[in-house]
Amino acid sequence: MKTKKKRRHFPRWLTLLLCALLLGGAGFGIYSLIAHERQVRTMETAVYVDTFYEGTRIGGVDIGGLGSVEARNKVEAALKSRYAKPAVTLTYEGERWEYTQYDLLDRSGMDAVWADAWALYRTGELADRYLGVMYLKEHGREFSLGDSFHVNPIRNDLISIAKALDLPARDARIEYDPGEDAAYRLIEEIDGHRVDTEETLEKARRRVRQRDWGEVPLLVETVTPDVTLEDLVIVDFATSIAGNTANRAHNVKLALSNIDGYVLGPGELFSFNEVVGNRTAANGFKPAPVINGDKALVMGIGGGTCQASTTTYNAALRAGMEIVERYHHSFPVGYIDKGLDATVSWGTQDVKFKNPRDTPVCFHTYFENDNVHVVILGEPLPREGEIRCWSEVTGTVAPPAPAVRNDGNLAPGQSVSYVKSRAGYRVTAYKEYYEKGELVERSVLHEDYYRPIRGIVLRGPEAAQTVPVTAE
């Protein structure tokens, strides 16, 4: 037979006590959880903001609680007021360009300061950040901007100021106007000026470096022209057109008129053919005697142009031009000494010379008392220099007997000199250089040989055996 066990009964008061303890523990846990969540929200509210934290100061200005734009505006306003006093003033002939200390304040490191101020306590554990924010709010922190100055604003403005004030020098020059009574006139040179930006900036920099605020006059230097009136010296050479036909005189003048007013720069090459142009009727040239292939004088468009080229060539010689190309005629011409002529032919023969000076030369031509003149204006020869040219005949060669040609167009017994017999000459041309009237140097320009020309006589065919032929 089994024996029944007795149940153990706890006292009622003990049971009640145990229940109370269990319920109290649960309530305390719940309360602690609520308190923790509330603390987290408090920390997040203080830390997660789009403004600078309370206690943040930049350049002595409290920007706590302000957004980036508001903070910048507040600091800039404070700086503008703090550095409102005049610093540097540029001056020139009554004009003033003023800069305050605020204008010249060096802001090169400001972005980094703003970044550092914003980044403070923006990373790390929430609790640590919160403690930092609270500490900052209570004790504050200053981010210094410094108070250094620079001249960058002045440098930038000086470029624009110089562009507005700089005035280039004006060279003396010759103006040509064929519609006026005076074919040309001399225009006097004018000095220019230029702002010395580097030296002006250096003076401003010294004031800024020493904080010796005040005026800085613009340093403006005079710019002298390259060519003055004294540099324009007239070299005038003339040949005569007296006794010329009207057409020939017209061609000489027309060719030279194309040269009038031409400016030859330093080192540039002058080409008579290029400047004058092709001698055609379309270009205004008229028929006049020219030398053809068998040395006969026949009518051709542009006859007489060689006198224009010869006159130009001799002016160039006496102006010290560097002769590059020149040819003498088949036989001497009457308007210039032997050995000093210069013939031209379109496409084959030209007169060319270079300007060896460092300044330009200008050509002017005019006509007076049956003379045609070529004037060259340019840099004078040094030490009152003067160039003279002359020539001498060193040998003469008699022409051979003339040839006789039958010409059916002539009447019986008639004879005509078609090509004139001409003696040949050996000629040496010289150039002499004088200073103050004293001969300094003599040199040979060139040696020319004008070959003798065999004349040609035309005669009627029936009188071929009876017509005497004599050399002219």
| Number of Cβ atoms within 10 Å of the Cβ of 253 | 16
Question: Are 257 and 138 in the same domain?
Answer: no
Q: What is the mean pLDDT of residues 294-313?
A: 85
Question: Are 261 and 354 in the same domain?
Answer: yes
Does any domain span residue 9?
A: no
Question: Are 286 and 308 in the same domain?
Answer: yes
Q: Percent of the chain having pLDDT more than 70?
A: 87
| Distance (Å, whole) CA 325 – CA 350 | 7
Model pLDDT, residue 435 = 93
Does any domain span residue 35?
A: no
Structure tokens at 204: 């401003």
| Distance (Å, whole) CA 423 – CA 421 | 7
- For 269-285, how does the pLDDT look when each residue is reduced to its tens digit (9 = 90+)? 999 999 999 999 999 99
Does any domain span residue 139?
A: yes
* pTM (whole model) above 0.75: no
Does any domain span residue 40?
A: no
- How many domains is the chain partitioned into structurally? 4
b/e map 348-377, b = 16+ CB within 10 Å: ebbbbbbbebebbbbbbbbeeeeebbbbbb
**Is the model's pLDDT at 385 over the cut of 70?**
yes
Least confident of 201-215, 222-236, 287-301, 350-364: 287-301
Does any domain span residue 173?
A: yes
Question: Are 256 and 316 in the same domain?
Answer: yes
Among 363, 380, 397, give the residue marking a domain's end: 380
Among 380, 399, 432, give the residue marking a domain's end: 380
- For 398-422, how does the pLDDT look when each residue is reduced to its tens digit (9 = 90+)? 988 888 888 878 888 788 877 888 8
Question: Are 239 and 138 in the same domain?
Answer: no
Q: At 393, which CATH number?
A: 2.20.230
Domain region containing 112: 56-84+106-143
Does any domain span residue 205?
A: yes
**325: Cβ contacts below 8 Å, ≥ 6 apart:** 350, 351, 352, 353
Question: Are 198 and 247 in the same domain?
Answer: no
Question: Are 119 and 250 in the same domain?
Answer: no
Does any domain span residue 183?
A: yes
Question: Are 365 and 247 in the same domain?
Answer: yes
Question: Are 202 and 250 in the same domain?
Answer: no
Question: Are 268 and 362 in the same domain?
Answer: yes
Question: Are 124 and 159 in the same domain?
Answer: no
- The DSSP bridge partners found for residue 214 are 88
Does any domain span residue 269?
A: yes
Question: Are 308 and 440 in the same domain?
Answer: no
Model pLDDT, residue 29 = 59
